Amino acid sequence: MNIEQIEEKVRESVRISDDDALFLFGHPDLIAVGRLAAMVNDRRNGKKVFFNVNRHINHTNICVNRCAFCAFYRAADTDGAYCMELDEVRSRALEAVGQGATEIHIVGGLHPSLPFDFYLEMLATVREAGPELHIKAFTAVEIEYLSRLAGLPIRDTLERLKGAGLGSLPGGGAEIFAPHVREKLCPEKISGERWLEIMAEVHASGLKSNATMLYGHIESHADRVDHMRQLRELQDRTGGFQVFIPLAFQKENNPLGHLKNPMSGGVDDLKTLAIARLYLDNFANIKAYWVMLGEKIAQTSLCFGVNDLDGTVVEEKIGHDAGATSPQAMGRDDIVRLIRSAGRVPVERDTLYNELRMY
Ligand code: V47
């Protein structure tokens, strides 16, 4: 195999294989891989780069799943454990409205004692504070947990949450699907297979979702390709994923950070994003999450196939607890400048990728 054969496929819009993707991960020439990804992205999106104005709310860090990569979770009654009152949720949502946000992104720990009604009330609280806000909330892992709390099947749980204001799902909790990696990363979390089943139900219920991959820890390139293959297959069936977001592992304050495998470097970040663009031909959007990548790599990735930058964010906790050195938030102007100075055209979008404004 050589890169010219892959280039030929890419030029003719032929799907690349798992072996092709593995070959690209092992290819020493980042620029050659990036050029192919940029070609695909230019064909699909021209110079447009999406961003949105959003605010994250992490309502609690108390979690019964003790994932080895996570610096955010606390056991109940330990130092630093918190759970927001609904008033705190409301004031954050009101602040977001004041800042012109169009989206609230809510994820939190699997709290051992909050009732299902808390989650319905939290959605209702945000909806009341900002009726125009889109609420993107709860990973597939949380949905499974909430369905147990509610004593309802996944589909009925989703209907109840939708009724209270849920608009779509974020892509967290996917980590790496391969069981041999997952049992070291997050043995207590639902399996990769279950994550995919829940997302299939989410899509069947008419909700869109995102998809992530946590990389740069103990996984191999083959594990990454396997993860993306399973996403590509589900996307062929449902078309419900809006965007793929590779999450670069942050190594501070968590047990995995002490392993030999260092935090992924810039070359690996860019190559991973580029290969995602090439392999996931049925995903419209590839997002650089600047919180984990840092602003410089996130900006550079716009020349390597990426067409989406998350977002203004505000008060990010999961990456920063694990040592992310990026700021806690970026203003709309900062993001616009970042995109423009990469020679691209900034387009503010809503959560469902409708274009709101071009800058
Ligand atoms: O599932 C946890 C990851 C995820 C670490 O859908 C870590 O638009 C790196 O999914 N280093 C939650 N990553 C965040 C998430 C997300 C973020 C932004 C946008 C969207 C979206 C989704 O954070 C978790 C886990 O994979 N994570 N710890 C860590 N040490």
Quote the pLDDT of residue 180.
Answer: 98
Query: What percent of the chain stands above pLDDT 70?
Result: 99
Mutational pocket test of ligand 1: of 63, 102, 212, 293, the residue with most ligand atoms within 8 Å of the beta carbon: 212
Mutational pocket test of ligand 1: of 54, 214, 243, the residue with most ligand atoms within 8 Å of the beta carbon: 214
How far, rounded to the nearest angstrom, does the alpha carbon of residue 123 sit from its chain's CA centroid?
20
Q: State pLDDT tens for residues 90-140.
A: 999 999 999 999 999 999 999 999 999 999 999 999 999 999 999 999 999
Quote the pLDDT of residue 316.
Answer: 86
Quote the pLDDT of residue 257.
Answer: 84
User: Is the shortest distance between the CB of 144 and ligand 1 below 6 Å?
Assistant: no
User: Is the shortest distance between the CB of 244 and ligand 1 below 6 Å?
Assistant: no
State the average pLDDT over residues 227-241.
Answer: 98
Computed over every residue of the chain, the mean pLDDT equals 96
Task: Please give the Cα distance from 324 to 250 (Å, whole number).
Answer: 6
Domain boundaries, the chain: 3-358
Q: State pLDDT tens for residues 281-321.
A: 999 999 999 999 999 999 999 999 999 998 888 888 999 99
CA of 6 to the centre of ligand 1 (A): 31
User: Is the shortest distance between the CB of 318 and ligand 1 below 6 Å?
Assistant: yes
| The model scores a pTM over 0.75 | yes
134-137 β-sheet, strand order: 54-57, 103-106, 134-137, 166-168
Quote the pLDDT of residue 259.
Answer: 73
Quote the pLDDT of residue 312.
Answer: 87
* Minimal-distance CA residue to ligand 1 atom 17: 172
Quote the pLDDT of residue 262.
Answer: 54
State the average pLDDT over residues 211-218.
Answer: 96
The residue among 312 and 54 whose pLDDT is bigger is 54
Atom of ligand 1 nearest to the CA of 72: 28
* Closest C-alpha to 74, from 214, 195, 254, 257: 254
Task: Please give the Cα distance from 65 to 145 (Å, whole number).
Answer: 11
Quote the pLDDT of residue 149.
Answer: 97
Quick check: 260 pLDDT over 80?
A: no
* Minimal-distance CA residue to ligand 1 atom 14: 172
Quote the pLDDT of residue 328.
Answer: 84
CA of 247 to the centre of ligand 1 (A): 6
Which amino acid is it at 63? C
User: Is the shortest distance between the CB of 69 and ligand 1 below 6 Å?
Assistant: yes
CA of 293 to the centre of ligand 1 (A): 12
User: Is the shortest distance between the CB of 246 and ligand 1 below 6 Å?
Assistant: no
Quote the pLDDT of residue 261.
Answer: 62
Task: Please give the Cα distance from 88 to 102 (Å, whole number).
Answer: 19
User: Is the shortest distance between the CB of 96 and ligand 1 below 6 Å?
Assistant: no
The residue among 317 and 152 whose pLDDT is bigger is 152
CATH H-level, domain 3-358: superfamily: Aldolase class I (3.20.20.70)
CA of 86 to the centre of ligand 1 (A): 23
CA of 172 to the centre of ligand 1 (A): 5
State in Å, rounded, how far the first CA of the chain is from the last one. Answer: 42
State the average pLDDT over residues 162-181.
Answer: 98
Mutational pocket test of ligand 1: of 209, 258, 318, 350, the residue with most ligand atoms within 8 Å of the beta carbon: 318
